Amino acid sequence: MVDVTFQPNRVAGAQATRKRGGLRNALRRKSTVAFVMTLPLILLILILVVYPAFYSLHLATLNKSMAKFVGFGNFEFLFKRDTFWLVVKQSCIFAISAVVFKALIGFIVAHFVHNVPAKKQRKWRGMLLVPWVIPPAMSTLAWLWLFDPSYSAFNYTLSFFGIGPIPWTGDAMWARFSVILVNVWYGAPFFMIMYLAALKSVPEQLYEAAAIDGANWWQRIWYVTLPMMRNIIAITTLFSLIVTFANFDIVRILTAGGPLDHTHIFATWAFRVGIEGSDVPLGASVSLFMVPILAVAAIFILRDISKRGNEA
């Protein structure tokens, strides 16, 4: 009798088992499972976001006929154009003022909704979200009819009070006001719902403690609500700033950039130059100009959030 039987493939078999075991272990690891499950999304992002982003970078370095590499030539050209700087100025005015008003209105409305009794709150939340769930291209068409140069429903109503007619889309100042107003109307519900969620997570004890200390409503907002909501406010502002800077549909439908280019923003002007003017590389350069602006904003906001996270 022998103690150990001869096993010719024993070493190879052990290696294979180890390999199979390794694979099994890897598959058992949570991180691997997470990666595999997110792989379809990662692939989608690679195809639909990363590839187009790099392709537009490539386009921005070509000349008008897309036959020659010009490096930063398109940007140099843009920096010499007055219209481009007008677009930069307007994009900043549009995005910053719209985000400020959206945040302000969202904050106020979130407080109102938060104070509504729980049963009725659901209805209010649903109703207030309506502007945000309608596709903006559709709702902006309705706004276009309200602002119509010749048949504006607003002007018709105002005429009963002896006001107007107001050139909603025909005068530079009013046209800017109109596009910002529609953007605020569309985006404020997003802020409202985010702030409402944040308000609900503020511990009630903090307010009770503040009340015991004799804090008035303003002090409660300043010293309790706002510090507790700071991260959500920062993230919401960042997201909204990115989306508002990249807005296209509202301006395109409402004014198409007019009058006299006074409502053009990056995306609408990029479309005008790149698609309507058949200068795709210049259009790509206009759109890419947004990237550094938003990147700087993102770095500051996210750094602030992570600093507070570390402090916590």
List Cβ<8 Å contacts ≥24 apart for 134-143. Answer: 136/186, 136/249, 136/250, 137/249, 137/253, 139/182, 139/186, 140/182, 140/249, 140/250, 140/253, 140/254, 141/253, 143/178, 143/182, 143/185, 143/254
Q: Which stretch binds other proteins (CB under 8 A): 2-10, 43-51, 191-199, 250-258?
A: 250-258
For other proteins, the closer of residues 131 and 259 by Cβ is 259
Among 240, 247, 255, 285, binds other proteins (CB under 8 A): 255
What CA dihedral angle connects 280, 285, 287 and 289, to 10 degrees?
-170
Contact between 164 and other proteins per CB under 8 A: no
Range 5-19 burial, b when 16+ CB lie within 10 A, else e: eeeeeeeeeeeeeee
302/237 Cα distance (integer angstroms): 11
Per-residue interface string for the shown chain with other proteins, residues 260-289, x marking contact by CB under 8 A: xx----------x-xxxxxxx-x-------
For other proteins, the closer of residues 164 and 304 by Cβ is 164
Q: Which stretch binds other proteins (CB under 8 A): 22-30, 89-97, 121-129, 144-152?
A: 144-152
For other proteins, the closer of residues 55 and 112 by Cβ is 55
Q: Which stretch binds other proteins (CB under 8 A): 1-9, 25-33, 146-154, 222-230?
A: 146-154
- Which tokens is 208 given? 């009770």
**Least Å from the CB of residue 148 to other proteins:** 8
Write the DSSP symbol of residue 62: B
Residues forming the site for other proteins (CB under 8 A): 63-65, 77, 80-83, 149-151, 165, 167-171, 175, 255-261, 272, 274-280, 282
